[in-house]
């Protein structure tokens, strides 16, 4: 028995990470594969039974995991991002949430034949979207900064609001309505906002102060913060059910907006933890579905799903974005992004069990309908949001553009060659004259320090997906590579090797301390400066059957230095010390060659 439990636990983790990897490899929404793997492991094969595996610990574990995910989401919410969009976010989580609740309740009564109390409860549960589904989809779709910030803020804030609405509605269902129930709801709402928010602020301030005063050892900092997050959730939830989710969200937002402290290690740790938790949670909760749950899925259920996608969400966005200044395209994209996630699954599962025990006849349909909405919305938005974003012109899922650190004359020549082959290029430099020269040449250039939040925000909205650090300062190049590896990934951050770098030394260095070395181990800033001073030029050649790579080498000699290779599908590859692309006929080769 113990061996079977160990195998099942290992399978849950393995399936979750494999699903994430396959989704990354084939550029698919990870949530889709997580749901698919969970259904295959659970109701289809019966290999994983979460109720047997975890027993009574299942939903407490889910609640704690969701608390950590919401805290991590709060860490990504900067109040400066609300500039110009704060009123839209506020309306989405109030007017928009209420609109969704009303439309969902009416649809549940008319289409699913729920009684009014159960329909209201289902409507409250389905208010939420949440970071468990929103953040992975945003990473996949990559909308512009304004829309991305709105969707992210809405998804993180709406989770505790939806959970609280569901809890208060559940209490109303149990009490059977009446004036006393209204009093209970108001009291619960007040406790959540005042006490839950207050506890979140206190915990966030305590962590910030401890980091500022160096009271936490580096070795234990992440672990202690995790413990405080869990304590914040437990204390707040003990005072008012489900207010813990609101408390940890407030704690994350408070901590993220404190100045003078570094929380990068906490953010990185929580991001890694979030990926693992989301993977496990979706596998476990989708594996809980039973075969007899499919009996409740009928034509009326699919119509109900259609109402949520094509009526409730567009109506909520339309009312929330009136006179907002958002373009029609941006409003349409917002109306196309409302997947449901873990909180809806967890809350519906808990309430369904409690109501079944209390003899409610419709309670058995609550969880299947919620999971149908989760699977349906995740599938629909996961498959169409990226296409919709590109069609509406608000996203670029896999940007091929280049961010170049340094705007000196030969960096501009490299940028011009890339721009002429239809790649987005942005240069960054702290020298105003060089930035001005780049702009006069028709290039996009930013003036400022590449590490400042302003420049990072500008880069996030640009159509770039890789960094080329080409400055004379190798330390700046390395620091920029480390900084932007979180944005672009380690694979897409490149820098020039320092002068005198040998192949053996390069191999001994830790890859975490610098980017991938460009072009060749001896191709330093000084080397390129000498070559350009001697008259070398950046050359763009289209390879053919007659003029292939060997012919290119024969014409331009051994000193020809390949920079980039552009394939026929417009994919850009960079020549580095650890990777040499294979040029083929039809490819475009950008290289440094001596003048004829």
Tell me the CATH number at 490: 3.40.50.720
Same domain, 218 and 89: yes
- Backbone φ/ψ region at 29: left (φ over 0), alpha (ψ -120 to 50), beta: beta
Same domain, 331 and 447: no
What stretch of H or E contains 539?
strand 537-542
What secondary structure letter does DSSP report for 220?
T
What integer pLDDT is reported at residue 508 of this predicted model? Answer: 47
**pLDDT of 511 over the 60 cut:** no
Q: How far apart are CA 527 and CA 514, in angstroms?
A: 19
Q: How far apart are CA 74 and CA 248, in angstroms?
A: 8
Same domain, 210 and 342: yes
From 338, 362, 386, give the residue that closes a domain: 362
| 275 within a domain of the structure (yes/no) | no
Same domain, 355 and 491: no
How many CB atoms neighbour CB 409 within 10 A?
Answer: 12
What is the average per-residue pLDDT within 76-80?
A: 72
- For 403-431, the pLDDT digits (tens) are 888 888 888 998 998 888 888 888 888 88
Same domain, 514 and 581: yes
Same domain, 358 and 418: no
Q: How far apart are CA 73 and CA 129, in angstroms?
A: 13
Same domain, 225 and 308: yes
Same domain, 342 and 479: no
How many CB atoms neighbour CB 207 within 10 A?
Answer: 25
| 280 within a domain of the structure (yes/no) | no
Which pLDDT band, with edges at 50, 70 and 90, does 166 fall under?
Answer: confident
**pLDDT of 192 over the 80 cut:** no
Closest CA relative to residue 62, chosen from 347, 369, 252:
347
| 19 within a domain of the structure (yes/no) | no
CB 145 within 8 A of CB 461: yes
What is the average per-residue pLDDT within 5-19?
A: 85
Which pLDDT band, with edges at 50, 70 and 90, does 457 fall under?
Answer: low
Q: Phi/psi of residue 572, each to 5°?
A: -100, 130
| 37 within a domain of the structure (yes/no) | no
Same domain, 97 and 238: yes
**pLDDT of 510 over the 80 cut:** no
Q: How far apart are CA 567 and CA 2, in angstroms?
A: 53
What integer pLDDT is reported at residue 227 of this predicted model? Answer: 92
> What does pLDDT average to over the chain?
80
CB 518 within 8 A of CB 468: yes
What is the average per-residue pLDDT within 492-520?
A: 69
What is the average per-residue pLDDT within 219-244?
A: 85
| 282 within a domain of the structure (yes/no) | no
What is the average per-residue pLDDT within 370-378?
A: 82
From 362, 387, 417, give the residue that closes a domain: 362
| 2 within a domain of the structure (yes/no) | no
Please state whether beta strands 493-495 and 516-517 pair in parallel, antiparallel, or not at all (unpaired): parallel
Same domain, 109 and 200: yes
pTM of the model: 0.69
**pLDDT of 435 over the 70 cut:** yes
Q: How far apart are CA 596 and CA 594, in angstroms?
A: 6
Q: How far apart are CA 316 and CA 229, in angstroms?
A: 32
- For 206-229, the pLDDT digits (tens) are 988 888 888 888 788 888 988 999
Which pLDDT band, with edges at 50, 70 and 90, does 360 fall under?
Answer: low
Q: How far apart are CA 456 and CA 412, in angstroms?
A: 21
**pLDDT of 127 over the 70 cut:** yes
Q: How would you list the strands of the sheet with 493-495, edge to edge?
A: 444-447, 425-429, 401-405, 464-469, 493-495, 516-517
Higher pLDDT, 391 or 80: 391
What is the average per-residue pLDDT within 88-93?
A: 87
| 304 within a domain of the structure (yes/no) | yes
CB 540 within 8 A of CB 588: yes
Same domain, 252 and 354: yes
Same domain, 405 and 358: no
Closest CA relative to residue 197, chosen from 162, 247, 129:
247
Which pLDDT band, with edges at 50, 70 and 90, does 231 fall under?
Answer: very high
Higher pLDDT, 8 or 210: 210
| 32 within a domain of the structure (yes/no) | no
Domain residues for the domain of 241 are 54-258+299-362
What integer pLDDT is reported at residue 453 of this predicted model? Answer: 67
CB 494 within 8 A of CB 481: yes
Question: What is the total count of domains within the chain?
Answer: 2
């Amino acid at each position: 028995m113990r061996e079977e439990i160990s195998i099942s636990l290992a399978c849950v983790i393995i399936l979750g990470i494999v699903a994430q990897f396959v989704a990354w490899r084939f550029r698919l929404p990870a949530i889709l594969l997580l749901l698919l793997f969970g259904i295959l492991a659970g109701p289809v094969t019966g290999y994983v039974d979460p109720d047997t595996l975890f027993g009574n610990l299942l939903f407490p574990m889910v609640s704690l995991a969701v608390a950590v995910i919401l805290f991590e989401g709060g860490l990504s919410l900067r109040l400066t991002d609300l500039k110009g969009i704060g009123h839209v976010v506020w309306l989405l989580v109030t007017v928009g949430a209420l609109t969704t609740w009303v439309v969902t309740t009416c649809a549940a009564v008319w289409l699913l034949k729920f009684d009014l109390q159960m329909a209201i409860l289902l409507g409250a549960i389905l208010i939420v979207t949440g970071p468990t589904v929103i953040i992975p989809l945003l990473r996949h779709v990559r909308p512009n900064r304004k829309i991305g910030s709105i969707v992210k803020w809405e998804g993180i804030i709406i989770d505790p609001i939806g959970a609280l609405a569901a809890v208060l509605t559940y209490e109303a269902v149990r009490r059977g309505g009446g004036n006393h129930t209204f009093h209970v709801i108001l009291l619960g709402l007040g406790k959540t906002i005042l006490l839950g928010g207050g506890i979140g602020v206190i915990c966030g301030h305590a962590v910030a102060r401890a980091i500022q005063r160096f009271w936490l050892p580096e070795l234990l900092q992440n672990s202690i913060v995790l413990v405080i997050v869990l304590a914040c959730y437990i204390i707040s939830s003990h005072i008012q059910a489900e207010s813990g989710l609101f408390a940890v969200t407030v704690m994350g937002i408070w901590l993220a907006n404190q100045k003078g402290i570094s929380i990068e290690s906490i953010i990185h740790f929580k991001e890694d933890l979030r990926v693992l938790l989301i993977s496990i949670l979706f596998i476990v909760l989708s594996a809980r579905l039973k075969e007899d749950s499919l009996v409740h899925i009928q034509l009326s259920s699919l119509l109900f799903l259609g109402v949520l996608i094509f009526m409730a969400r567009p109506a909520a966005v339309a009312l929330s974005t009136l006179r907002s200044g958002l373009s029609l395209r941006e409003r349409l994209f917002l109306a196309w992004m409302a997947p449901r996630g873990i909180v809806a699954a967890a809350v519906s599962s808990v309430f369904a069990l409690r109501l079944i025990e209390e003899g409610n006849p419709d309670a058995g349909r609550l969880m299947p309908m919620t999971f149908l909405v989760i699977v349906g919305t995740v599938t629909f938005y996961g498959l169409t949001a990226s296409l919709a974003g590109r069609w509406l012109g608000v996203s670029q899922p896999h940007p091929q553009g280049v961010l170049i650190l340094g705007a000196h004359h030969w960096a501009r020549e490299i940028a011009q060659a890339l721009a002429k082959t239809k790649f987005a290029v942005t240069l960054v430099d702290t020298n105003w004259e060089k930035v001005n020269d780049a702009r006069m040449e028709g290039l996009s250039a930013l003036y400022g320090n590449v590490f400042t939040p302003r420049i990072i925000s500008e880069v996030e909205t640009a159509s770039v997906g890789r960094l080329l650090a080409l400055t004379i300062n190798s330390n700046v190049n390395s620091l920029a590579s480390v900084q932007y590896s979180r944005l672009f990934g380690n694979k897409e951050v490149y820098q020039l090797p320092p002068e005198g770098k040998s192949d053996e030394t390069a191999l001994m260095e830790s890859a975490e301390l610098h980017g991938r070395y460009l072009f060749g181990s001896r191709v330093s800033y000084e080397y390129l400066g000498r070559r350009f001073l001697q008259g070398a030029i950046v050359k763009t050649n289209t390879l053919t059957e007659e003029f292939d790579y060997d012919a290119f080498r024969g014409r331009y000699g051994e000193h020809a230095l390949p920079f980039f290779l552009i394939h026929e599908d417009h994919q850009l590859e960079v020549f580095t010390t650890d990777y040499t692309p294979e040029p083929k006929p039809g490819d475009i080769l950008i290289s440094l060659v001596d003048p004829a």
